[in-house]
Amino acid sequence: MSTLKVSLLQMDCRIADPEYNFLTARSYLEMAAHDKADLAVLPELWASSYALDRVEDFADPLVNEPTPDNAFGRFAALARDMNLTVAGSLLERADDGIYNTMVVYDREGRLLSSYRKVHLVPMLQEEEFLAAGDALSTVTLDGHEAGLAICYDLRFPELFQIYTRRGCRMQVMSAQWPDLRQSHWQALVRSRAIENQTYMVACNGVGEFDNIRFCGHSAVVDPWGEVLVDAGTAPGVYTVECDLGSVDGIRQAVPVLATRRPEVYARAEEQAAAEVPAAATV
């Protein structure tokens, strides 16, 4: 299938209130199912919101299929009940720490892929509460590869470049991006789409927590950088079709990927690593 219909579930997640957030997610997923979406994407940490000082209370082990009394298992059950492939991030409890983990469950509630947030946000001291992931992850959606990312990852172009070189035609991202840096969000989402000639599917949250307002503007951007949908600041479900079959033609028309010079970049990286900057003086 060359087209993929995507729903962005732009939620106003209630802090430390998983039951309310699960009810909201179910309601929104019903709307996405009514829109006949193939993929529904939820924001970052949508079940607990950004209660970093309470991650111990809301973290669960990652599970591969529907099960009660576990946030991942309940998310899988929603996918099965709504007959939708779903993606979004939750708090994962593992032996070596708690991770911000994006999961993708298929229409039967089976785990397709998981990704632990690699880049933690220093401005929010996330490293004090969460462990950082150390690997990238892709997922196959109706025969098309897509890369997975979470929020602050957006600032690191290398991640998306690697996904593109792995054959991804789409990047799927969950976020809780602050209003203070809304202009960065919108510019970076478009930039990642243009520079990688890929679809960017970026689901953000809205609302406010601890004097931080999340900016919304969830978006789907095509490989030309055209914004197919911008959710603005209102919570709701925003659905659009992505023509993944067009990506190869766009990459042939403007052959950026084919004219990369990795050997030049590698030499420049080696040179930069060898150059030790002089110590700063006051």
Q: Which two tokens stand for residue 223?
A: 């490989």
CB 150 within 8 A of CB 114: no
Q: Which two tokens stand for residue 179?
A: 């209003």
**Strand runs labelled E in the chain:** 3-10, 39-41, 85-94, 97-105, 111-116, 138-141, 144-150, 170-174, 199-203, 206-209, 212-215, 219-221, 227-230, 236-243
As a whole number of angstroms, the distance between CA 130 and CA 116 comes to: 10
Instruction: Please report, for residues 104, 190, 195, 224, the alpha-carbon distance to residue 228 in angstroms, rounded to integers and kept in the order given.
Output: 23, 11, 17, 11
Beta sheet of 138-141, edge-to-edge order: 138-141, 144-150, 170-174, 199-203, 219-221, 227-230
As a whole number of angstroms, the distance between CA 181 and CA 183 comes to: 5
Instruction: Supply the DSSP string of 196-212, one letter for each residue.
Output: HTSEEEEE--EEEETTE
**Active site (catalytic) residues:** 44, 117, 151
* Residues paired with residue 115 on neighbouring β-strands, in sequence order: 102
CB 195 within 8 A of CB 165: no
CB 56 within 8 A of CB 26: no
Nearest Cα residue to 131 out of 103, 99, 153, 175? 99
